[in-house]
Structure formats: structure tokens, C-alpha cells
Amino acid sequence: MSRKKVFEAQIEYLQILDEKGNVDASLDPKLDELTLKKMYETMVRSRAMDKKAISLQRQGRCYTYVPTEGQEAAQVGSVMASKKEDWMVPAFRENAAYLAKGVSMRTLFLYWMGHEEGSRFEKDQNCFPVSIPVGSQVGHAVGLAWAAKIQGKRQAAITFFGDGASSEGDFHESANFAGVFQIPCVFICQNNQYAISTPRARQTRSETIAQKAIAYGFEGIQVDGNDVLAMYVATKKALEKGYAGKGPTLIEAITYRIAAHTTSDDPKRYRDEAEVEAWRKKDPIARFQTYLKKNGFWNEAYEKEVQEKAAREVEEAVKKAEGFQANPEDMFKYLYQDLTPDLRQQMQEMKQSLEG
Ligand SMILES: Cc1ncc(C[n+]2csc(CCOP(=O)(O)OP(=O)(O)O)c2C)c(N)n1
């Protein structure tokens, strides 16, 4: 019997900004003030929106909500590394990614309030709607990126999914396909340590999620997902590789879901408060604030201005979303290109009942 060595693997771990806000100067992308502030403000806006949405849900003014808290850097850093034309294909926890793509808070609140209108984006925003079936969006992203490649466009897709989704067939089928056809798709697994109550240790026996890419013939790396600069740098590199025809990348963003899985979950039943507190110390926003301060871009007056502006934006967005006049026909309109006879009849019945 003979054996051949197939591969030896090492997984890169990228961190630029540590938990105390110290930066590795050799890796610092040295972004301009405007970009850095946009990163910070987008994360703050997402956090403000989270807080409001949870409160609205408790008051019965919003349906089940999926909080982003703790994962802002993983989303904002990566989306801000992309071009406007690149696709952003989310799961359901990507409010910060949407905001970074330029989607309005009004649209996001409309989604969480149950309106079809909340899944309608500006044509050039290149965002896909929220995808609730775990992992299902990953194949869509690969398809979009494949289309871009066939059309010879310098365009890629970024798709977000969780550690739980990395156990779904959709992820594996998509990763295999993307590897074979060298598709410019950046797979961003936000390893937030839990899939509802299932901890990371029960999700996979693999030492890292990043290494799953190796089986499909492309690179997988781990990144400190609470480090917005590292997420920016890693995604930029992956996108450039994709545009150059060199295929996909899997980024495992190591992060933590600080809040509950959704507003209908009670995480106290399956995780320790001490664990949450330890991760709070790694907060992506506080850490980035320290970096901005050291660079002379942050002071108390700026903070006040950013917080007040975010609070105003939230209030105005809620007002607009609550004032939205929904057309009940929308429920039917976007299911199929052409309504099935059954649905057409149901829509007719609904109209008659609404007309009294
Ligand atoms: C196909 C499918 N199975 C089960 C569910 C129920 N479900 C919703 S979220 C979730 C866990 C997802 O965990 P993960 O992929 O790690 O993402 P996270 O929620 O942590 O962001 C499950 C099992 C679902 N929505 N879709």
C-alpha cells in the first residue's frame, strides 16, 4: 500500500486591531478619514436600529426581529471593501450590511414590520432580500457571481451565513460549484458561536470552519470578525482575487452574537452570562472608537453628533415605516412571475372580503 501526501494546511488568522484598540501598523490599511468615519457611523446606526427594533417588537409594533449586535464589524468592514456593483446576499442578521450597502432604515423597518416593500431595493443597490431558510442564499450568490463572470464583468458577490449554515448542503454544493468554476464569490461565514442554542463545538468536528474551503480547492481564512479593519482587508483581497478570475474565498469571521438569536429566544437557557460579558469586552464599535481616537478622528463632540444623528434617523425611519400604507395584494404579487390559478382566486376572495 502506498500513500501520497495530498495537502498540508495552515489557516491564516487576520487581526489588525486588537481588543484594546491597538493597531498592527504593518497591516493597517490606512483608510482616509471619511471612509473610517463612514465605517464607524454605519456600525453605530445599526446598533441604534437594533435597540429600537427590539423595543418595537416588545410593544407589538414589529414582528420577530433578528438582532445584529456584536456582528457590525464583520458586516460593515466587508461590505465597505466591495464596489457598488458587487452583490450583497444576506441571511437574516445582516442589517449592518444593508446599511453599508446604502439601504435605508425605512426599508429595513418595513421588512421587520412584515411588508413586502421591505424587500424592494434601489436597482443599483445590488442587494438580495432577507433569506430565512438557513443557507439557501449561498447558492444564489454563487449564481449571481457566475453570471457576472460569464458576462465578463469585473463584479463579484459577497454572501453572509452563519456557523449553523456551514452544516447545510446548500453551503457545500455552492462551495463545490464555486471552486470548480472559479466563481468570484466571497463566502463570509459569521461564526457567532451559536446556531440558536447549538454551540460551535456541536456544529462541526473541524478545527476551523475556514478549512472547509480546502476540500473545495480554494482558500479559507479566519479573521477577527470584531475587527472592522481586518474584515475590510480580508474581503478586499478576496474580491480582487475574484475579479482577477482566481475564484472564491471563504472568510470565517470569528465573532459573537451578543443579543438573543431573535426576539423569541431566551439565550439564558443555553449560555452563561459570563461568556457574554467576556465578548462584550471585544465589542467591535468600542474597539474601533479607540482606533479613531488615537488617529485624532474621534472626540466627545463627534460622538454626541453621531449618536444624535443615528437616533433621529431611527425615529424618522420608524415614523415612515409605520405610516406606510400596505397594499394587501402585495402578499401575492411577488411569489411567482405569474400567479397560479389558486392564488389568483385567493387574491380575488381577499379583495371581495376587503371591499365588504
Ligand atoms: C433550513 C432551515 N432550517 C432551520 C431553520 C430554523 N433556524 C432559523 S435560524 C437557525 C440557526 C442558524 O444559525 P446560523 O447559521 O449559525 O446563523 P445565526 O442565526 O447564528 O446568525 C435555525 C436552525 C431555518 N430557518 N431554515
Per-domain boundaries in the chain: 25-325, 327-356
Q: Are strands 194-195 and 198-199 parallel, antiparallel or unpaired?
A: antiparallel
Distance (Å, whole) CA 32 – CA 10: 33
CB 78 within 8 A of CB 188: yes
Residue partners of 190: CB distance under 8 A and separation at least 6: 71, 74, 75, 93, 160, 161, 162, 163, 225, 253, 255
User: Which positions ≥6 away from 336 have C-beta within 8 Å?
Assistant: 343
Instruction: Provide the β-strand partners of residue 191.
Output: 254
Q: For the chain, what percent of residues have pLDDT higher than 90?
A: 95
What DSSP string runs through 279-312?
A: HHTT-HHHHHHHHHHHTT---HHHHHHHHHHHHH
The pLDDT > 70 percentage for the chain reads 100
Predicted local confidence at residue 335, as pLDDT: 83
Helix, strand, coil in percent for the chain, rounding step 5: 50, 10, 40
For residue 239, the one-letter residue type is L
Residue nearest to atom 19 of ligand 1 (CA): 195
Q: What local confidence, expressed as pLDDT, does residue 185 receive?
A: 99
Please provide the CATH number assigned to the domain covering 25-325. 3.40.50.970
Q: Judge contact between 71 and 257, C-beta under 8 A.
A: yes
| pLDDT, tens digit, 9 for 90 and up, residues 19-62 | 998 999 999 999 999 999 999 999 999 999 999 999 999 999 99
Ligand 1: atom nearest CA of 163 is 16
Contacts of 97 (CB under 8 A, 6+ apart): 75, 76, 78, 79, 88, 90, 160
Protein residues whose CB sits closer than 6 Å to any atom of ligand 1: 93, 132-134, 161-165, 192, 194-196, 257, 261
Closest Cα to residue 138, out of 98, 167, 118?
167
- The model's pLDDT over 244-273, given as tens digits with 9 standing for 90+, comes to 999 999 999 999 999 999 999 999 999 999
Which of 134, 159, 173, 198 to probe ligand 1 with, by most ligand atoms within 8 A of CB?
Answer: 134
Burial of 156 (0-12, 13-18, 19+ CB in 10 A): buried
- Going by alpha carbons, the residue nearest to atom 25 of ligand 1 is 133
| Cα 164 to middle of ligand 1, angstroms | 6
Residues 156-177: pLDDT tens digits?
A: 999 999 999 999 999 999 999 9
Q: What is the pLDDT of residue 7?
A: 84
Confidence at residue 334, expressed as pLDDT on a 0 to 100 scale: 84
Atom of ligand 1 nearest to the CA of 132: 25
Known catalytic residues are 257, 261, 270
Question: Cell match 500500500: residue?
Answer: 1
- Looking at every residue in the chain, the average pLDDT score rounds to 97
pLDDT exceeds 90 at position 333:
no
